Structure 1
């Protein structure tokens, strides 16, 4: 079993469509900024943490954060080690075959290539991506050689140390890598839109939990507060919006 870290329990417990005695355990990676990361105080932080703190309040349930490795997310969910995945997980047909999703809380977005050589070959060269992601699946369907890594940071590191010619990842994850590199990293090719947005992953049997969070997510879309959080965490005027 992957090592898990239980963090501080969140929010007061009140009645709701989920059992009043239930603590909803939300699993995140803590390694995918700005969606989720570990801050200087050693706590989970990021867009998804801020969002689900609010969603749990609106859903009137008590939520607890669990961090675990990305590669074990779906198996650990199915094994009952936590109740839901909140980890930048894109909604895809393949994943829908084994788990369920709420409606998306992050719109269908673009993935992109970045490299340290503006002439890097993204069609026939070596491209790094995080394992078991829609980006890795996309690279595998091209003529490039795919190198998979446990975390997105390791995929970027593969370009820095010369193991890979380019990295392919969510453009919002790569943007600070490129912007803060002082010109060392550059964008390559055209952005690629993949998946149906990002949602909360759940077991197919947890229909009440899905309905509860679907309602809460919709309420934040309706009142504009979800768009406000997207603006806060994803670059102002360039932020994705519903």
Structure 2
């Protein structure tokens, strides 16, 4: 699960309360299987199904909108939508700006995608999406980082020689490697960064936060969340993101 250290521009600018009639869910729409835009032009993926189920359980009417990743927190604060559901890792830096739900996905390893298994990560720049936990990790661990606005651009940078590898969530990179006919490979090296994925709220929206947090817990308790995570089209039956007995604690 991707994502971010807070840039200096991420300042809370609004305490706008959520609309009581329709709750607007904001996502990126560019990070399968978490979220993407389908052929009908609609938000799809794990987080679409997950968010719709949460709203049903919480008795809320919800709508979906998309936003570029690098401005997704500022536009939550500005009132463009009420909740972020976008593969966002819970970090202390973000918690200074927004409130998070309990995690709905456990942490997953970040992986390197390169043109060959013997790629030297110190020989050139490593690509990462702008404002992600992966970009910060690369910069903080002696490697040269080159940042791009979208995940697709990070992969393209490896293909065209702008970067020796890309660091991103393994769940995002594995299908790309599998479908590349050997052009791209995952390195054996992985990184453990991030603290699980949660929904982000404005700090003023405690009522909405509590409603959706309770719905997440109910999905963990009755097994619905794990069943959804383990669908083949999402993370698969052996996914480490599933909660198992850990999710039923406190039920």
Same fold per superposition (TM over 0.5): yes
Shift of 1:39: 0.4
Q: Distance in 2 between matches of 1:124 and 1:140?
A: 14
Specify the SS of the correspondent of 2:198: coil
Structure with greater proportional strand content = 1
Match for residue 108 of structure 2? Answer: 109
Q: Distance in 2 between matches of 1:212 and 1:21?
A: 12
CA RMSD of aligned residues (A): 1.5
Matches within 5 A, 1:1-242: 21-232=20-231, 233-238=234-239, 240-242=241-243
Q: Is the Cα–Cα contact under 8 Å of residues 28 and 36 in structure 1 kept in the other structure?
A: yes
Q: Distance in 1 between matches of 2:122 and 2:208?
A: 42
Q: Distance in 1 between matches of 2:75 and 2:175?
A: 31
Q: Distance in 1 between matches of 2:18 and 2:151?
A: 36
Runs of 4+ with deviation above 3 angstroms: 18-21
Worse overlay, 205-214 or 123-132: 123-132
Give the structure-2-normalised TM-score.
0.86
User: In 2 relative to 1, CA 210–70 (structure 1 residues): closer, same or farther, beyond 3 Å?
Assistant: same
Aligned length: 225
Q: Distance in 2 between matches of 1:166 and 1:71?
A: 21
5+ residue gaps, structure 1, are 1-17
Cα deviations across residues 177-199 of structure 1 (Å, max 9, x unaligned)?
11111111112242212111110
Q: Is the Cα–Cα contact under 8 Å of residues 59 and 212 in structure 1 kept in the other structure?
A: yes
Give the structure-1-normalised TM-score.
0.89
Specify the SS of the correspondent of 1:194: coil
